[in-house]
Structure 1
């Protein structure tokens, strides 16, 4: 027959032996409180209390402002200040570039490369130029051309409207319009919702007159088209064209994003201007 290990029996007995904890009144020796415990109970209760204490401490640090006092964690206000300072630094960099260009333009005058003598010599050469007045007389072809131009200018309003009708715009993006053009609410655009990264296309042939970043509208690009039309694309994820580039109608110029402080999610904020006035894009473009 197998015999039990006396060491294991002694360990089990030590863990399960009951002890009584009694709290007495020091003066009267009256029993106030008593509790029966064993070594095993103490280990279990102590371990459970330690686990609960660790979990509570972790939750307290992770979901309360106390974590800001721990080295390595930055406060939300500090992050906001850092972002604001980054935008201000970008603005200062642009202003510095403008100031440098202005200084370069003044440098020839300040260093003496352009003097009053040079200016006087240019003026003298201009005065010595002789003009043959016979060349100023209009030829027969010139007279016919002037008469044609004057005839067209008599109906400038009508011709301007006809020219505007010749401009054909295409939809920059296929998506759902979340907010329509509303001049009374100063929302001079249509907002088109689409997935992040969806290509944004030029509505017509034109030239990029601005492509850059602003704090409120994020990555923004502006195109100038014929007949004084300007199209504006805001809150882009990234820009694929630079200022001065020529683009064709339907060419991809950016992608959908959610950049800038005024954004409400991935969408395109599209504006259309003509002659300095905002026009309703839905009157010219079918976004369906």
Structure 2
């Protein structure tokens, strides 16, 4: 027991034993200042000083740009770039969704699935209330001349709005028009009989969006001409363009053939679609 107490007393004396720190002038040995301290004071002061340094370092790292130099810590530039990439990804997802809808509409073109046009019921009812006998429908002379002029100018122009440029369609193949456009029988195209291995040409500038084989219609090519106009060429014996290729008006894109199950001889099955609906190609192309 005495040994333990004597040991504690020695440790206590070491910790509490006071020392004097004196600062002297080296030339005159004049005492500048002095203060008393012990080992316990030094230990406590060192601990507080270490905590102070840790706190200051933490603040500098947390609230200054110096934190970007720490390995594994993301920088502000990287966070901004990540935010921009997130916005870009969201925009790309919207573009992909729009493209999927567009591809779905192209599939409907290939399968011949045409949605009935929805008319405005209210406008039809209002029109039915008008007494036709009271309306003068006879055109004036000036009106007749103007109609003839516009009809000649827009005979082969598929666009009706003034902001569209004149868009003349090139005949896809030279031959005889056999089966006409007949939506009542779900024949949304014209069939043109041509010589075997005759070249099939693009009706206008555009981009090939489909070029492949189908069971019913053989080798098929579909071209997007912009302005919501699409042309389709079916029953070809071969294709000279691939999906994604750019084509010019009158450029050879395929060879007339007799491929597919729904064919009875060498001919071109030609379709023209505007705003997702089939239109009569003979109204816009002079096949003669």
Q: TM-score, normalised by structure 2?
A: 0.46
Q: Which has the higher helix share?
A: 1
> Bigger radius of gyration, 1 or 2?
2
The normalised TM-score by structure 1 is 0.46
